[in-house]
Amino acid sequence: MKIITLIAYVLAVLFLFFLLKSLWLVLPQYWWAFGRFKYKFLQNYGKAGIYFYKLRGFKKFTFRKGSLKGATEVTVMAKTEKEAYRKFKTYTNSNRSTRMQQI
Q: What is the pLDDT of residues 5-22, one digit of tens each?
A: 989 999 998 888 877 666
Say if 82 falls within a structural domain: yes
Alpha-carbon distance of 21 to 39, in angstroms, equals 28
Our count of domains for the chain comes to 1
Per residue in 19-45, pLDDT (tens digit) is 766 665 555 555 544 444 344 454 555
pLDDT at 37: 39
CB 72 within 8 A of CB 41: no
Could you tell me the pTM of the whole model? 0.39
Say if 21 falls within a structural domain: no
What are the start-end ranges of the E strands in the chain? Answer: 59-65, 72-78
Say if 33 falls within a structural domain: yes
Alpha-carbon distance of 76 to 17, in angstroms, equals 30
Domain hosting residue 48, numbered range: 28-101
pLDDT at 38: 42
Which position has the higher pLDDT, 79 or 101?
79
Say if 70 falls within a structural domain: yes
